Amino acid sequence: MTRLDLSPAASAAPRRARILRHAAMEARLVARNGEQLLLALVIPIGLLIGQAVAGGQFGVDREPFAASVIALGLWSTGFTSLAVATAFERRYGVLERLVATPLRGADLITGKAVAFAALALAQTAVLVGVALATGWAPRPSLAQTLVVVAAVPLALLAFAGLALTLAGLASAELTLALGNLVYLAGAALGVIVTPAAFPAWAQPLLGLLPTTALADTLRAWAGGETDPLPLAVLTVWVVAVLWLARKVFRWTS
C-alpha cells in the first residue's frame, strides 16, 4: 500500500511569478486611481483635442505640440504617479510589510518598474492614437527613431529615480503637493512650453532638465530632425538620481 504524504509543504512562488503578480497589482491600483488617470490621460488628451480645435488660432504647430504632450504623459506616469503611490505605501506601512514577505526589496522595485513601464507603454499608445486621429503627421527619420528608442527608457529611469528620491525623503502629503507642483513646473519649463519661448540665457539651462531632454527628443523625431545630445543629458541624470535614490530611500515612514 502506498502511503500519502499530506504534510504541509508551503513555499514561495518562483521569483519571476512574484514579480509579475506584484507588477499586475501595482498596475491595477494605479489604473483605478482617478487623480493619476487625470494626469496620465485626461489632461494630455484634452490638450491634444484643444490644439486640434483651436491651436491654429494661437499659432500652435501640431507636430511639435503633440510630441510635447506625449512627453508630458510620460513625465506624469514616470514621476508623479510613482512618487505619490510610493509615498503613501510607505506611510501606511505597505512597503515594510511587503518586504517581510517572499517579495524582497529588489523584487518590489522590479515589480514597480515593470508595472509603470507597462502603464507608460499603454499610455503612449493611447496618446499617439489620439494625436494621429486629430491630424498629427510626424515625419520621423530612422536615426532619430533609434535615439527615441534609447531616450524613452532612460527618461523613465530618470523620472523613477526622482520619484523614489522624493517619496523616500518627504511625507506622503508633502510628496503629493510637491509631486504635482514639479509636474506643472516640468510642463511649463521645456515640455509644453518649449525652451525657444524663454530668453536665450535660460535655454541651455532648460536643456539640462530630463523633462526637456525627453520632449526635445520627441519633438525632433516628429519634425524629421536628428538630435542625439539629449541622450547624454538623460544618461547623466539616470546615473545621478538612481545613486541618490539608493542612498536616501527609506522603506518605513
- pLDDT score of 4: 67
What's the rounded mean pLDDT across residues 162-177?
92
- pLDDT score of 52: 87
182-202: per-residue pLDDT in tens?
A: 999 999 999 999 999 999 999
Residues 82-99: b if buried by 16+ CB within 10 A, e if exposed: bbbbbbbbbbeeebeebe
DSSP-derived letter for residue 3 is: P
Domain ranges of the chain: 15-248
Q: How many CA atoms lie within 13 A of 100 on its CB side?
A: 6
- pLDDT score of 187: 92
Q: How many CA atoms lie within 13 A of 54 on its CB side?
A: 4
- pLDDT score of 158: 93
The C-alpha atoms of residue 230 and residue 158 are separated, in whole angstroms, by 13
- Tell me: pLDDT of 153 over 60: yes
Q: What is the pTM of this model?
A: 0.90
65-94: per-residue pLDDT in tens?
A: 999 999 999 999 999 999 998 998 888 888
